[in-house]
Copies of this chain bind each other. A is one copy, B any other.
């Protein structure tokens, strides 16, 4: 018998696709035909279809009725929405964690930040970005709150997608320092301080990646925030 846990075929495909999207092997807007996916993974359309369905729930792919699946291409307005939610969730994380960091956990966090620092001087392009995201996932998991972990995973993934769609390569050095400050604050145990550092960190990330709104960018991106003023939530298609 296998000693690795039996994982459904669907979950395998789901995870693989997810990685491919986040690593930008599949770019935002790319088509995802069930046939092609099934063939790639040596399975049938049914599995591919189910995996796509779950990715759609997570917001990583967009499902268009009778037209198929596409890698989600969130616009800047959507990016701001996601960051707004993420802010609230990360606040819960630091609230839960502040003053309850074990020495073992502290060690784990310090080591991770160390890896980030190393990677930041390396040449691989998206490795620092991935590590940066994993820092937040690490924190979320330490809360022991499964739902919180799931949501953080989701918003971090979607943030990556937003950056992939609109961000230009940015130096992530400052992010490392900010992560360090977060760990310090959590260990110190002052919740308010930790919350503030976290919020400023996320604001900084946002500023680095969603800043422009300058001339030359897609006009629709600019208009979106004004269109959002009207509170209708239904979108015709």
Instruction: Give A contacts to B, CB under 8 Å.
Output: 5-6, 8, 50, 53-54, 57-59, 65, 78, 81-82, 84-85, 87-89, 91-92, 95-96, 100, 102, 105, 108, 141-149, 151, 155, 158, 224-225, 227-229, 231, 233, 236
B81 adjacent to A87 (CB under 8 Å): no
Q: Which residues of B contact A89 (CB under 8 A)?
A: 85, 88-89
Q: Which residues of B contact A57 (CB under 8 A)?
A: 54, 57-58
Number of copies: 2
10 A-B pairs in the complex with CB atoms less than 8 angstroms apart: A57-B58, A85-B148, A88-B91, A100-B229, A102-B229, A105-B231, A108-B231, A144-B229, A145-B228, A146-B233
A151 adjacent to B85 (CB under 8 Å): yes
C-alpha gap A92/B92 in the complex (Å): 11
Q: Which residues of B contact A229 (CB under 8 A)?
A: 100, 102, 105, 144
Closest to A236 in B: B5
A234 to chain B, nearest CB (A): 9
Q: A8, A87, A146 — which one has the most chain B CB atoms within 10 A of its CB? A: A146
A47 to chain B, nearest CB (A): 12
A59 adjacent to B147 (CB under 8 Å): yes
C-alpha gap A131/B141 in the complex (Å): 34
Q: A81, A88, A148 — which one has the most chain B CB atoms within 10 A of its CB? A: A88
